[in-house]
Amino acid sequence: MESVQAIKQRFGIIGNDPKLNRAVEKAIQVAPTDISVLVTGESGVGKESIPKIIHSLSHRKHGKYIAVNCGAIPEGTIDSELFGHEKGAFTGATQTRNGYFEVASGGTIFLDEVGELPLTTQVRLLRVLENGEFIKVGSSKVQKTDVRIVAATNVNMFEAIKKGKFREDLYYRLSTVEILLPPLRERKDDIHLLFRKFASDFATKYKMPTIRLADDAVAMLEKYHWSGNIRQLRNIAEQISVLEQNRTISAVALNSYLPNIGSNLPAVISSDKKESDFSNEREILYKVLFDMKGDLNDLKKLTMELMRSGNTQQVQKDNEGLIRKIYREDEEEKNVHFEEPVTPAAEVLQISSPTPPIIKEEDKYHFAEEIEEEETLSLQDKELELIKKSLERHRGKRKAAAEELGISERTLYRKIKQYNL
């Protein structure tokens, strides 16, 4: 059995991080068997190297090795790609086609981004893993295949299972052995080694002197978050190799190539955020709107009673519970500011001992007559007329008018703005 160091050198794997070495060691140990392997890790950590190691060290090394990016194949054609189809199975199927599982029989299939597979395809894949059987699209004939499956994903599989996007039974079939590749930010000692390797490769490719980093640039490189991992580091090395004329790169020069999106610190993102949170917020909003509609209906009812009776005090007494329900002021509302200051006494409706408004007898009857004449007006017009009359009687004093109407000064102020009085 080849050593870990020899395998890393053979497959161009750079670094001496213990987690990386453990991942390579597991790949070497599992290679001679036919056990299914699931390679996990963030995007850009180099997951594609592990299945190559497994295939080359297995008894299948002389068979075919096929790498399939499951996320790049459209949902409508992925079954045909993996399992093949019969002639006439669907529009455009002009001839019979052999799928990857048939072509790679005796070899290894690497299913990259397996977490992106549609649920219907997952059922077919589970059958292959359980008994090596599959059926072509448009056929009823069961066929056998002898393939080794190595899968990889950057998806949190337990979250995908919880959301119903991935079958739990398929996950346990795929992950008989799970190999985790660490992100680049956890391999700080390997970052500069990788950068130097990439810089050397690009210097040869573009026929120019190799760039090197100053000490402060090395420190910056090692502190950076590298959300894109090795793929991002390689991209940065290539940019600098091509664009920088000075072949010694300072921290200032390096910083101009490092995107600020990820910052140097990992972003704090709650993984417990539920998709249903948004629907819950929507339901709360609907409830608030329905409550407001109910309060408005109660206010209209109260206004009608005031207009019919003309006796503000009696209406307040008869509807004390209703008035408190509609116009009670919560502590949170005290933070609301208006154009004109409102005294604390106006925050809560004084029902128990209101100050009786002085209404002349003739004014009272005159008001009743006007209401009768305007019987055809809408409820909104009557409410407007009532507020106008009350403000006129109290010479624009909102507090006295609000007490007469049986509403808070805050509500009266809102009505004044609404009707542009």
Strands 248-249 and 212-213 turn out to be parallel
* Residue 266, in any domain of the structure: no
**Residues in Cβ contact with 73 at an 8 Å cutoff, skipping those fewer than 6 apart:** 81
Residues 149 and 12 in one domain: yes
Residues 195 and 152 in one domain: no
Overall domain count for the chain: 3
* Residue 268, in any domain of the structure: no
Q: pLDDT higher for 1 or 135?
A: 135
CATH value at residue 219: 1.10.8.60
Torsions phi, psi of 363, nearest 5?
-65, -40
Residues 118 and 220 in one domain: no
Which contacts (CB < 8 Å, 24+ apart) does range 16-24 have? 16/189, 16/190, 17/182, 17/186, 17/187, 17/189, 17/190, 19/180, 19/181, 19/182, 19/186, 19/187, 20/181, 20/182, 20/187, 20/190, 23/50, 23/179, 23/180, 23/181, 23/182, 24/50, 24/53
* Residue 394, in any domain of the structure: yes
Distance (Å, whole) CA 287 – CA 369: 40
Residues 167 and 26 in one domain: yes
Give me the chain's average pLDDT, please. Answer: 81
Domain holding 326, by residue range, is: 286-419
Q: How confident is the model at residue 54 (pLDDT cuts 50, 70, 90)?
A: very high
Distance (Å, whole) CA 340 – CA 275: 43
Residues 363 and 307 in one domain: yes
Instruction: Give tens-digit pLDDT for 93-107.
Output: 889 999 999 999 999
End position of a domain, from candidates 131, 161, 182: 182
End position of a domain, from candidates 161, 182, 203: 182
- Which residue in 277, 297, 294, 263 sits closest to 380, CA to CA? 297
Retrieve residue 391's tokens. Answer: 């403000």
Angle at the Cα of 182 (from 170 to 6), degrees rounded to 5?
100
Instruction: Give tens-digit pLDDT for 208-253.
Output: 999 999 999 999 999 999 999 999 999 999 999 999 999 999 999 9
pTM over 0.75: no
Residue 98 DSSP SS3: strand
Which strand (E) or helix (H) includes residue 388?
helix 379-393
Residues 170 and 241 in one domain: no
Average pLDDT over residues 173-181: 95
CATH value at residue 14: 3.40.50.300
Residues 36 and 81 in one domain: yes
Q: How confident is the model at residue 291 (pLDDT cuts 50, 70, 90)?
A: confident
Residues 176 and 192 in one domain: no
Residues 215 and 172 in one domain: no
* Residue 135, in any domain of the structure: yes
Alpha helices by DSSP H, listed for 11-156, are: 18-30, 49-56, 78-83, 100-103, 119-131
Local structure of residue 137 (DSSP, 8 states): B
* Residue 273, in any domain of the structure: no
Residues 240 and 294 in one domain: no
Q: What is the pLDDT of residue 404?
A: 82
- Which residue in 133, 141, 216, 129 sits closest to 171, CA to CA? 129
Residues 201 and 176 in one domain: no
Q: Are 24 and 7 in contact (CB under 8 A)?
A: yes
Percent helix, strand, coil in the chain (nearest 5)?
A: 55, 10, 35
* Residue 367, in any domain of the structure: yes
Whether 183 shows a pLDDT value over 50: the answer reads yes
Residue 369 DSSP SS3: helix
Q: What is the pLDDT of residue 153?
A: 96
Residues 334 and 413 in one domain: yes
* Residue 272, in any domain of the structure: no
End position of a domain, from candidates 122, 149, 182: 182
Q: Are 19 and 187 in contact (CB under 8 A)?
A: yes
Whether 362 shows a pLDDT value over 90: the answer reads no
* Residue 114, in any domain of the structure: yes
Instruction: Give tens-digit pLDDT for 253-287.
Output: 999 999 875 444 444 444 444 455 555 666 677 66
Question: E strands, 154-273, where?
Answer: 177-180, 212-213, 248-249
Instruction: Give tens-digit pLDDT for 142-166.
Output: 999 999 999 999 999 999 999 999 9
Q: Percent of the chain having pLDDT more than 70?
A: 75
